[in-house]
Structure 1
Amino acid sequence: MKYKLGDFVRFVDEKMEGFVTRIIDEQMIGVTGDDDFEIPVLASKVTTVHGYQAGGADKTVTAEEKPVDLTEFEKKGVYVAVVADAKANSVVHFHLVNNTSFQLMVAFTTEKLQTFKGEFAGLVSAKSTSKIYSAQLADLQLWPRFIFNIIYSTKQNIEPPAPLVISEKFKAKDFSTAKKQVPQMTEPGWLIRLDEPEIVIDAQKLKESFFKPAEEKVVFVKPVSEIDLHIEKLRDDYQFLQSSEILQIQLAHFHKALDAAIVHQLPDITFIHGAGNGTLRNELHKQLGKHPKVQTFMDARKEKFGYGATKVLLK
């Protein structure tokens, strides 16, 4: 297969063009145009359009290593950055980010069902990045295991760290944080650190942890009168979460807000859960029905919320 995810292609027999957003098999690819509709097509029926580089420019520098003041020599800062394609949002590109002052010799391999494939091998200069892989965002659960072998090198009088050998199967929780500005790149993305900083154990704090009081005071912030439980209002990474995880997050937020309303003696509180398939609404009603501090509950004003909110009267 000569095409990669994010390649910009043009149909041979039609006046259409778009981005490769899926590799179906050795002969078929999925191409998404301006209408965001993915079209399956034979790879032989499209041709590459030059002039567009998916995922931004590769900033790997192959020039000679420049001397760095040893007091400013950065020994830590190796990441994988996951960045959405600028044109095809359903595709993400993985970049090896070298924010150290070392030159990195990188071998990157994927493994799926005991099948190994070398995806990238090369040098990543100090303070630079290199794109190493691309994948469909929606296929996160199907991504292969990533294997990194990284060796540090410098011509300066600095002892290099031990080589990094990392095997990682990324999960949705790895993308639970908000996007950040990626070092050495202009695009924001999710950062996964490969060279975790060394853990320094504070003996005094460790000792104090054994003598913490059994119960610590919990502070409840006074909630607003209307609590929106739509997952996109609670988490930035909701597109990576499974339905069961979404429900648990919504219920945890519900319980926290309800407890705060009770502590602050609010007369009532409204939870906006949406109509949807009714799963969240039914679960809220089940919890409210057996709560000792709940006087009653009902559908909130239909002219404002439709059937997508529940008003709770507290004792």
Structure 2
Amino acid sequence: MKYKLGDFVRFIDEKLEGFVTRIIDEQMIGVTGEDDFEIPVPAAKVTLVHGYKKPDAVSENLSNPLDVSIANFKAKGIYLGVVPDPKANSVVHFHLINDTSFQLLATLVTEQRGNKGEFAGNIASNSAEKIYSAQLADLQLWPKMLINILYFTKQHPEIPNPLTFSEKFKAKDFSGSKKNLPIINQQGWLIRLDEPELVIDADKLKESFFKSAEEKVTISKPEREVDLHIEKLRDDHQFLSSAEILGIQLNHFNKALDAAIVNQMPEIVFIHGAGNGTLRHEIQKKLSKHPKVQTFMDAQKEKFGFGATRVLLK
């Protein structure tokens, strides 16, 4: 297969173009165009658009790292950055990020019904390389990844032992919020491969000895309107099943309702959307049995339609 996920291709027989978002088999690929609709097409029916450069392309500079003094030598900071493709959001790219002063010799092997070498290369100091791409919808089918790293420098610091990272990723591994990734300066999920150096803050350690056993817990006052749409609650919602999404939404609802009661709010509105009505039904079932709820009703229809519930509290 000469195409890779994220490649920009043009149809031979039609005036269409898009990004490769799925490798179906050796003869078939999935191509997603501007309408975000994926079209299965024989690989022989498209051609690679040469010279196209993605806006997020990572520099492939493999020059030797600049010499730095031993005092300024940075020994820690190796990450795996997972970044959604800016043009084909159903695809993510894995970048090996070297935020150290070492030069790294790295390999990636995927393990699924046998081993397959995916990447081998030299990653210069303060640089990154894309080492793998995958389709989000196939997360459960992703192979186990094995990354091996050797450290190299012409200077004279202590050389760490070779680093091995082995992981079969699951949806929970991407449950955290996206953050700006070092070196590549893009939004994505960051996984640390080496352990940071342990730094003990003497002042904080002293404070911990004198901390009261019983501290007053403060609960923040929620917004008057609480949006329960899953895309507002989790960045990784595309990885979650319907049952997991419902559980997260109900948990957020319960916490917001409790916070409103503690802060003695007279009322609160929960925006749950219309959808198939499951979330609305579960919320109103809980409200009907809650001792601190005076009554509830559909919120302002002109603003929310039938997608929100207004709750009056005692």
Q: Any conservation in 2 of the 1:9–1:18 contact (CA below 8 Å)?
A: yes
Q: Any conservation in 2 of the 1:30–1:38 contact (CA below 8 Å)?
A: yes
Residue by residue over 1:224-243, the C-alpha shift from the partner in whole angstroms, topping out at 9 and shown as x without a partner, is: 33222222222333333332
What SS does the corresponding residue of 1:232 show, helix, strand or coil?
Answer: helix
The residue that corresponds to 1:47 in the other structure is 47
The residue that corresponds to 1:37 in the other structure is 37
The residue that corresponds to 2:68 in the other structure is 68
Q: Any conservation in 2 of the 1:28–1:40 contact (CA below 8 Å)?
A: yes
Residue by residue over 1:167-209, the C-alpha shift from the partner in whole angstroms, topping out at 9 and shown as x without a partner, is: 1122223323333332222433222111122456889959969
TM-fit CA distance, 1:36: 2.3
For the pair 1:110 / 2:110, whether they are aligned, the reply is yes
Matches within 5 A, 1:14-163: 14-54=14-54, 56-112=56-112, 114-163=113-162
Calculate percent identity across the aligned residue pairs.
67
Amino acid at match of 2:105: M
Q: Any conservation in 2 of the 1:97–1:130 contact (CA below 8 Å)?
A: yes
TM-score where L is the length of structure 2:
0.89
Stretches of 4+ moved more than 3 A in 1? 53-58, 198-209
Looking at structure 1, the residues matched to 186 and 309 of structure 2 have their Cα atoms a distance apart, in angstroms, of 41
Looking at structure 2, the residues matched to 134 and 171 of structure 1 have their Cα atoms a distance apart, in angstroms, of 16
Q: Any conservation in 1 of the 2:105–2:149 contact (CA below 8 Å)?
A: yes
Higher deviation after alignment, 96-105 or 82-91? 82-91
Residue by residue over 1:251-287, the C-alpha shift from the partner in whole angstroms, topping out at 9 and shown as x without a partner, is: 2222222122222222222222111111111211222
TM-fit CA distance, 1:75: 0.5
Residue by residue over 1:110-167, the C-alpha shift from the partner in whole angstroms, topping out at 9 and shown as x without a partner, is: 122x322110011111111111111112322322211111111111011111111111
Q: Quick one: structure 1 residues 14 and 297, their matched pair in 2 at CA, closer, same or farther if it must change by over 3 Å?
A: closer
Q: Quick one: structure 1 residues 163 and 218, their matched pair in 2 at CA, closer, same or farther if it must change by over 3 Å?
A: same
Residue by residue over 1:61-93, the C-alpha shift from the partner in whole angstroms, topping out at 9 and shown as x without a partner, is: 333443211111111111111222233232221
The residue that corresponds to 2:286 in the other structure is 287
TM-score where L is the length of structure 1:
0.89
The residue that corresponds to 1:177 in the other structure is 176
- In angstroms, what is the RMSD of aligned CA positions? 2.6
Residue by residue over 1:10-41, the C-alpha shift from the partner in whole angstroms, topping out at 9 and shown as x without a partner, is: 22223332221110111101112233222211
The residue that corresponds to 2:252 in the other structure is 253
Q: Any conservation in 2 of the 1:55–1:84 contact (CA below 8 Å)?
A: no
Q: Quick one: structure 1 residues 224 and 139, their matched pair in 2 at CA, closer, same or farther if it must change by over 3 Å?
A: same
Looking at structure 1, the residues matched to 201 and 188 of structure 2 have their Cα atoms a distance apart, in angstroms, of 33
Higher deviation after alignment, 92-101 or 221-230? 221-230
Looking at structure 2, the residues matched to 29 and 116 of structure 1 have their Cα atoms a distance apart, in angstroms, of 22
Q: Quick one: structure 1 residues 183 and 222, their matched pair in 2 at CA, closer, same or farther if it must change by over 3 Å?
A: closer
The residue that corresponds to 2:267 in the other structure is 268
Looking at structure 2, the residues matched to 313 and 134 of structure 1 have their Cα atoms a distance apart, in angstroms, of 49
Looking at structure 1, the residues matched to 127 and 259 of structure 2 have their Cα atoms a distance apart, in angstroms, of 48
Looking at structure 2, the residues matched to 263 and 158 of structure 1 have their Cα atoms a distance apart, in angstroms, of 56
TM-fit CA distance, 1:96: 0.8
Looking at structure 2, the residues matched to 292 and 163 of structure 1 have their Cα atoms a distance apart, in angstroms, of 60
Higher deviation after alignment, 152-161 or 252-261? 252-261
The residue that corresponds to 2:313 in the other structure is 314
**Unaligned ranges ≥5, structure 2:** none
Q: How many residues align?
A: 313
Amino acid at match of 1:16: L
For the pair 1:242 / 2:241, whether they are aligned, the reply is yes
Q: Any conservation in 2 of the 1:31–1:41 contact (CA below 8 Å)?
A: yes
Matches within 5 A, 1:148-227: 148-199=147-198, 213=213, 216-227=215-226
Amino acid at match of 2:40: P
Q: Quick one: structure 1 residues 166 and 267, their matched pair in 2 at CA, closer, same or farther if it must change by over 3 Å?
A: same
